[in-house]
A = this chain, B = another copy of it.
């Protein structure tokens, strides 16, 4: 696998390919032509072939992609062919919705610890989770070797939470807080801010 210097933008498309292949498998499909996959995703088939060519030969001229095989390869490339533990920080409404989002478990992402700093929430149950106090974050994350975290706290405490997570060993953060986090270059961050997403479209109205 020749993957050392694949551009981020290509890596960013692979989960979208994977998602489409998962859906096709659920529909009972076995083979898909690159053109049909391209039409489904609104991406050119040349782009898909070029993206995948960074990692090997996956399709056959004339027959298309063997869906199950390509799916397994993408899962390996993205390192999601294993179970991954995730810490969730913030047990408010948003944290609650995230903790109960079934798609995480289905895709191998298991929320294994939920933290909050509100004394009234600590020790309480949120679904199948017992909410832990923020002060236990460093120990729990280190002991469990958690590398992935989701931040669902307000903007004004997100940076502090990120600093603690990273110090404890977290390497990738999905942040719902509407603020850009300052992190060392070895740490990855992805943001979900629906306002930013909407504002990316209003320009074109």
| Chain A interface (Cβ < 8 Å from any Cβ of B) | 3, 11-12, 14-16, 18-20, 23, 39-42, 77-80, 84, 86, 93-94, 96-98, 100-101, 103-104, 107, 109, 147-148, 150, 155, 171-172, 174, 178-180, 182-183, 188-190, 192-205
Contacts and interface: CB of A to CB of B under 8 A. Distances in A.
A42 B14 CA distance: 24
Given A79-B205, A84-B202, A172-B201, A196 B16 contact: yes
A127 to B, nearest CB: 11
Nearest to A193: B19
Given A188-B204, A202-B79, A205-B147, A155 B195 contact: no
A203 B147 contact: no
A174 B188 contact: no
Given A20-B180, A77-B203, A202-B78, A195 B15 contact: yes
B84 A182 contact: no
Nearest to A82: B202
A149 B137 CA distance: 38
